[in-house]
Structure 1
Amino acid sequence: MKLRNAKFTIGEVVRHKMFPFRGIVFDVDPEFSNTEEWWNAIPAEIRPSKDQPFYHLLAENDETAYIAYVSEQNLEHDDSDEPLRNPQVSQIFDRQPGGQLKPKAILAH
């Protein structure tokens, strides 16, 4: 496995480059670590490389909140400062002075 540095960190708010959703990173895999079935469900013309970090997000769009698994190449930093509505955010993160979100101490490893 090639050593890679993740571009985004736990607690960082990101948005998808192609699809209308955003979320907060709560875990990072250094490379693809999901099922082949999940991988093959992505249309071949937009299927990202497995050889990059993948991020677990507490995601949301205009209609719902959910968990997403997204490749680094498909994410960008979200600097909108809009609050996240996903109800799980407050279960995993504490808001710090200045508004930054940090994992709750009992969950940090």
Structure 2
Amino acid sequence: MENEYNQSREAKFKIGQVVRHRVFAFRGVIFDVDPEFANTEEWLQAIPEKVRPHRDQPFYHLLAENETSYYIAYVSQQNLLEDTSGQPIDHPEVHTYFTEFRGNHYNLRSGYAN
């Protein structure tokens, strides 16, 4: 059981990696990672209980996009999958954090810690 717990706490995805949501139709690039839930209780409770993620796992900050808009998303590790489309993210803030796109990830701009 301890091993399972430790594995769920390890970040599976990296800053600069392009990912997609497991349930909802959006994708994004990771620009920050919290080792466990670090948002408000109200935010967590607003998620339907059936799909509410557990707190003890990494949560990722994404520059996200769907078919109609760009936004910042905060997503649990259990709800992310690697994006294999090979397509860049069009979010207008991508170049604030990253330089070139290489297949499924962006290179972090110098001056930003990861």
Match of 1:86 among 82, 91, 111: 91
Cα offset, 1:106, TM superposition: 1.5
Which position in structure 1 is the counterpart of 2:28? Answer: 23
Contact 2:10 2:57 in 1 (8 A): no
Q: Secondary structure at the match of 2:90?
A: coil
Which position in structure 2 is the counterpart of 1:74? Answer: 79
User: Take 1:78 and 1:84, find their aligned partners in 2: how far apart are those partners?
Assistant: 11
User: Take 1:107 and 1:6, find their aligned partners in 2: how far apart are those partners?
Assistant: 19
The reply on whether 1:55 has 2:60 as its aligned counterpart is yes
Q: Secondary structure at the match of 2:38?
A: coil
Q: Deviations over 1:25-66 (max 9, x none)?
A: 000001000000101110111101111000000000000000
The reply on whether 1:40 has 2:45 as its aligned counterpart is yes
Cα offset, 1:103, TM superposition: 1.4
Unaligned runs of 5+ in 2: none
Greater helix proportion = 2
- The aligned amino acid for 1:103 is L
Query: RMSD of the TM alignment (CA)?
Result: 1.5
List, as ranges, runs of 4+ consecutive aligned residues in structure 1 with deviation greater than 3 Å: none
User: Take 1:89 and 1:35, find their aligned partners in 2: how far apart are those partners?
Assistant: 25
Q: Percent identity among equivalent residues?
A: 55
Pick which of 79-88 and 63-72 moved more: 79-88
